């Protein structure tokens, strides 16, 4: 598996877990990603661990450093409050690394695969939604495909293929394993999330209101216009933005991008619409965000007529012409008077 395939496999595992997100609401999340690879000759570490709060990597561990390290300044407060924090978390990471290397070898043997680059991944975490509800998820992926997923509501493991069902039966037979995972996802993980939010409240709990602008591009082929609503510099990431016609959400002839990060930690977003220029007054870009005291309705600006500009230019030209003519007449009269006064 080439390096770009390794990156793709991680993205696939992330995409499978997105169903657990609090879509459409402001939320906070704590997630952990583990990735183990079978061939370090590719320049990759055997094992990598990432801890992520609200989309921000806050801790990192790999087999090169052999130490869990902070990636943001606010998490360093954990070590100040608990001097054993970094050592204890590093020891836990060591144990996970060793277990993953063994599991990866077992799976390669179970799938009867030759040596080469293979990946084993685990993603788990919790999310605290704006309405107070809690979500949790745990799943493993092998070579870019979902291997096994934990259903915390039914306390069962879901395996999509027969070879993964071997692990399913093994884990189902361990007393208290499922209950322990459920307790972690619903209680312990949430407690740690709230603790990290308190450490990084100046960053993670801040609100930055969006700046909204609407730009126009005319398409000459059919006379239709494309208007783009650009939303800049907002935090947190969750935002509700839509085009509205006569006050109602309008999805026809609309496109939109994905919410993307800026270099300063804020986010940006865009959405466009194609309309008949005769109906500009019916459309508005609607934006709702935690940083706004009330939603924004940004209208499409009707281009100003050029008639006033033309009239203004003509008047200015006439005034300038009068000034020039008056100046010439003035100098001509004074020149004549000077000559007459100079005659002897």
Please tell me whether residues 169 and 38 are part of one structural domain.
yes
Please tell me whether residues 293 and 187 are part of one structural domain.
no
Please tell me whether residues 172 and 106 are part of one structural domain.
yes
Q: Token match 């309405």: residue?
A: 131
* For residues 147-172, average pLDDT: 95
| Of 94-98, 115-119, 309-313, minimum mean pLDDT range | 309-313
Assigned domain for 263 exists: yes
Q: Are 36 and 47 in contact (CB under 8 A)?
A: yes
Query: What was the pLDDT predicted at 45?
Result: 82
For position 118, which CATH number holds? 3.30.500.10
User: SS3 letters for 47-88?
Assistant: EEEEEEECCEEEEEEECCCCCCEECCHHHHHHHHHCCCHHHH
How many Cα atoms are found within 13 Å in the side-chain-facing hemisphere of 46?
Answer: 16
For position 286, which CATH number holds? 2.60.40.10
Assigned domain for 228 exists: yes
Please tell me whether residues 64 and 111 are part of one structural domain.
yes
* For residues 5-28, average pLDDT: 52
Query: What was the pLDDT predicted at 327?
Result: 57
* For residues 177-185, average pLDDT: 96
Please tell me whether residues 129 and 200 are part of one structural domain.
yes
Assigned domain for 308 exists: no
More confident residue, 178 or 23: 178
Q: Residue 319: which pLDDT band, with cuts at 50, 70 and 90?
A: low
Tens digits of residue pLDDT in 221-250: 678 899 999 999 999 999 999 999 999 999
Assigned domain for 13 exists: no
Supply φ then ψ for residue 187, to 5 degrees.
-125, -65
Please tell me whether residues 31 and 171 are part of one structural domain.
yes
Query: What was the pLDDT predicted at 265?
Result: 87
From 205, 229, 244, the end of a domain falls on 205
Please tell me whether residues 201 and 215 are part of one structural domain.
no
Assigned domain for 312 exists: no
Domain count, the chain: 2
From 160, 186, 205, the end of a domain falls on 205
Residue 15 pLDDT > 60, yes or no? no
Give CA–CA dist 272/13, Å, rounded: 30
Assigned domain for 153 exists: yes
Q: Token match 């704006």: residue?
A: 130
Please tell me whether residues 151 and 237 are part of one structural domain.
no
The whole domain housing 288 covers: 211-299
Query: What was the pLDDT predicted at 16?
Result: 43
From 281, 299, 317, the end of a domain falls on 299
Tens digits of residue pLDDT in 203-217: 999 999 999 999 987
Please tell me whether residues 179 and 225 are part of one structural domain.
no
Assigned domain for 97 exists: yes
């Amino acid at each position: 598996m080439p390096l770009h395939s390794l990156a793709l496999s991680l993205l696939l595992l992330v995409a499978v877990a997105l169903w657990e997100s609090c879509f459409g609401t402001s939320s906070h999340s704590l997630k952990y990603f583990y990735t183990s690879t079978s061939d370090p000759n590719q320049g990759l570490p055997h094992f990598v661990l990432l801890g992520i709060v609200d989309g921000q990597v806050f801790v990192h561990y790999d087999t090169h450093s052999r130490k869990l390290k902070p990636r943001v300044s606010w998490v360093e407060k954990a070590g100040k409050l608990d001097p054993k924090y970094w050592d204890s978390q590093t020891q836990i990471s060591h144990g996970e690394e060793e277990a993953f290397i063994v599991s990866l070898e077992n799976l390669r043997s179970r799938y009867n695969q030759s040596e080469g680059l293979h990946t084993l991944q685990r993603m788990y975490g919790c999310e605290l939604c704006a309405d107070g509800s809690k979500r949790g998820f745990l799943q493993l992926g092998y070579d870019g495909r979902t291997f096994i997923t934990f259903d915390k509501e039914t306390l069962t493991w879901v395996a999509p293929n027969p070879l993964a069902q071997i692990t399913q039966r093994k884990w189902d037979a361990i007393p208290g394993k499922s209950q322990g995972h459920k307790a972690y996802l619903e209680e312990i993980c949430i407690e740690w999330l709230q603790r990290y939010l308190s450490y990084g409240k100046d960053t993670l709990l801040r609100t930055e209101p969006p700046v909204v602008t609407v730009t126009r591009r005319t398409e000459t082929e059919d006379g239709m216009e494309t208007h783009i609503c650009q939303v800049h510099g907002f935090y947190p990431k969750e935002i509700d933005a839509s085009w509205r016609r006569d006050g109602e959400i309008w999805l026809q002839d609309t496109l939109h991008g994905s919410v993307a990060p800026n270099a300063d930690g804020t986010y940006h977003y865009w959405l466009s619409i194609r309309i008949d220029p005769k109906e500009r007054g019916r459309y508005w870009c609607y934006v709702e965000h935690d940083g706004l005291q009330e939603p924004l309705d940004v209208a499409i600006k009707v281009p100003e007529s050029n008639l006033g500009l033309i009239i203004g230019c003509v008047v200015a030209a006439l005034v300038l012409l009068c000034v020039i003519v008056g100046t010439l007449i003035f100098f001509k009269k004074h020149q004549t008077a000077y000559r007459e006064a100079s005659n002897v």
